[in-house]
Structure 1
């Protein structure tokens, strides 16, 4: 019963949101014009950020060849994606009609569509983030491996034995370590900028996923029962001794004690709805520091 009422409440909220959307934008052309302006300003802001990074961001002196290469490649990706959005503009009419049709089933369906649209619109940011994270992770792992040169002896597969590095290994390894170390600040500044963007997008998508989950398990019926007839939600039996005779016979008084509202809600969450995964912030920080990819939470 609680699941049915939550679906009904979800459908009511979805209908209200559709009416508000129609009231704000009387025609689809006005909505497309509004979304096109937002996309234009986002693309321009991203291009401005890349051009700022190609200069001297915050007064930092970056490696000019690598900085120019990364900035040019990322700007090329942004321009390609902007051209793709312009070409795909006629498809927005189909997306709008799909949103108006599926949105009648409830607000959770509208949120699911927004998740997909957000992933599609920000695909260029994800591509740039993947390239920056891969390059940073590659340099970080290479520096970690080459740092073992300064120990002075290399590890041997046989336990407890080591062999010294050759002169050629030390020479090539030292030059490679120095090159990667001096290129790391340039890669790091690009990675930091785009990993911040990726974290913001992941957080927004995580909020949308949890909002959809909350709508699917909305405790409408359980809350009404808890307020109107709390005896039905009692979860604790309190026993009191009324009389204890000499023949070892005990008379008990059993009283139902009502659970708190939050405890009642947790007990009546439907198991059929998949719960979002718990976020491990320590693991998230480790992935950011090591350059591993971040996925929706």
Structure 2
């Protein structure tokens, strides 16, 4: 048997006293949590431990004695050794430290007597009373694992994916050890400045960590959360109006990025303003990430407002917008006139080419008239739209996406017209091609079945197939051109949506912990030899391995529409080939909570 003793580094120089901790169930390991200093009364120690057990789920007990050589306490070792008859125990640890040595001397005593010692050539045995006659060196059978109690207390141990680092048994033992330290928080509230019958040494014995700013924020958070909750209730009451729940209003709101972002922000504020205490680690991290993301978003929005409303940049942007729209419309007119001729020397169907060209030119004419009609009000609209940035940068970007969608609405209409016409011809040709092969599509069974056609049906099918086949190049050319234009707009809007999603979902608080306090998010531990002196057990130092940055993002990111599966590149190319409408930035299914 190898006995592992997890010993806190803060207790290496503690005064002599009793070791308080826990034996890990199912493992030959003990976790030392604190040292109770002499002088003390055993009855007071038992009462104090019973109070701690009632506040936690950890079965704390007296593990043994700790002896630190000091002047005037020469007989302390024998006194502490006799205390093993007072406190109930299965194994009693007698740990002492000699002057001039970094290593400890450890004797393990049970009710039946000494089992084995940290000194060489001692009797060997185990905590269950069984002896191992083959081992003659007891020092090699005791391992001290020194750990930083503060880091272990504040860290969250995540599952280790690399099986090479540690086995499942070691992972279970380490997880139990981490949970023991984290669950013993009431034990760490007693420091040396408190008036009481007991004096202890642990990671907060020199004074508990406190911050006046943190305490003030905690006191102010309650009324602020109540105010936010009341404002959200008013907002939900306004949204419950019947006219806003009608089908046209819901359809329009689902297409506007600003409304989608408003829904996400409402859910985020509800999560942050919830009065329910976050007891679980993931729940706390989600609240903290959302809170930090909202603060950073609003700070960036205020910076954008200060830039926009300085030096009359709103007026400059409004004066530039109309000429840019006219230039885009002029370029589209020239493109359509080029398509109505002989583009790239291609032979087009002149009648269909003229009909499609004039149809699209008429839409451009209507759009130019609409832009010039709205030009006197553009500056005022942009002035009020810029105020939306006070709600956050994501709102400003969402409004920008909606403005781009409105300014390029004519391109979207061209794409829809061309795609629908092209899709109709593609599906018509596919259906007529099955007619030639004596097949038909069974709508009920969703499969292709055999079918016999008469002569008239074959004649009409051949005629329609020929017409659609010869008109397909002209339709495909218009579809190709307007699809490319639509993809440029979609790409720009996709970049905007990715930026909004990055601010909404990126775990800023978790990443700050990863860089500032990497031990808070632990993936595992590593050990290095601290000291190995003759006549003393092996001493190891346990260091915490922080999780990778990619794992932090994957584990703690806030769910948004980018977290849902989208169409693959193959499915997207298939939709483009058959003429189906594409919205690659939209998520599938219901919006995430």
Regarding TM over 0.5, the answer is yes
The answer for unaligned runs of 5 or more in structure 2 is 1-287, 529-539, 586-593
**Conserved? CA contact 1:210–1:276, under 8 Å:** no
Residues 231-278 of structure 1, C-alpha deviation per residue, up to 9 Å, x if partnerless? 1111335699xxxxxxxxxxx99753211122123222234x554544
Question: Does the 8 Å contact 1:2/1:220 carry over to 2?
Answer: yes
Task: Give the alignment partner of residue 15 of structure 1, picking from 284, 299, 302.
Answer: 302
Q: Aligned-pair distance for 1:80?
A: 0.7
CA contact (8 A) 1:103 1:109 kept: yes
Distance 1:211 1:194 in 2: 26
Contact 2:439–2:449, Cα closer than 8 Å, also in 1:
no
How far did residue 43 of structure 1 move? 0.8
Say if 2:305 and 2:387, in contact at 8 Å, map to a contact too.
no
Rg (Cα) greater in structure:
2
For residues 547 and 516 of structure 2, the distance between their equivalents in structure 1, rounded to whole angstroms, comes to 14
Q: Secondary structure at the residue paired with 1:165? A: coil
Match of 1:65 among 351, 356, 365: 351
Pair 1:136 & 2:386 matched = no
- Which residue pairs with 2:65 in the alignment? none
| Residues 8, 145 of structure 1: alpha-carbon distance in 2 compared, 3 angstrom cutoff | same
Is 1:256 aligned with 2:544?
yes
What residue number does 1:245 align with? Answer: none
The residue number in structure 2 matching 1:98 is: 384
Distance 1:161 1:61 in 2: 38
**Alpha-carbon distance change, 54 to 276 in structure 1, aligned in 2, over 3 angstroms:** farther
Aligned mates of 1:161, 1:103 — CA distance in 2: 58
Distance 2:448 2:345 in 1: 49
Give the C-alpha shift of residue 28 in structure 1: 3.9
Q: Which residue of 2 aligns with 1:118?
A: 404
Cα 1:197–1:171 change in 2 (3 A) is same
1:205 to 2:493 alignment? yes
Q: Deviations over 1:120-142 (max 9, x none)?
A: 11111111111111111111111
Higher helix proportion (structure 1 or 2) = 1
| 1:183 paired residue number | 471
Structure 2 residue corresponding to 1:195, chosen from 478, 483, 507: 483
Residue correspondence of structure 1 range 158-237 to structure 2 within 5 A: 164-237=452-525
Which stretch shows the higher mean deviation, 28-37 or 252-261? Answer: 252-261
Give 3-state SS (helix, strand or coil) of 1:172's partner.
helix
Q: When the two structures are aligned, how many residues end up with a matched partner?
A: 286
Partner of 1:243: none
Given the two structures, how large is their TM-score scaled by the length of structure 2?
0.45
1:64 Cα deviation from its structure 2 partner: 0.3
Q: Secondary structure at the match of 2:523?
A: strand
Structure 1: gaps spanning 5 or more residues: 241-251
Q: Which moved more, 1:184-193 or 1:220-229?
A: 220-229
Q: How far does residue 119 in structure 1 lie from its aligned partner after superposition?
A: 1.1
Q: Does 1 or 2 have the higher relative contact order (CA < 8 Å, sep 6+)?
A: 1
Aligned to 2:238: none
The structure in which a higher percent of residues are strand is 2
Provide the C-alpha distance between the structure 2 equivalents of 1:6 and 1:156, rounded to a whole number of angstroms. Answer: 52
Q: Describe the shift of the 1:16–1:154 C-alpha distance in structure 2 as closer, same or farther (beyond 3 A).
A: closer
2:555 corresponds to 1:287: no
CA shift in 2, pair 1:43/1:256, >3 Å: same
Partner of 1:35: 321
Specify the SS of the correspondent of 1:295: coil
1:46 and 1:173 mapped to 2: Cα distance? 37
Tell me, yes or no, if the aligned pair for 2:435 and 2:461 is still in contact at 8 Å: yes
Alpha-carbon distance in structure 2 between the residues aligned to 1:113 and 1:92: 14
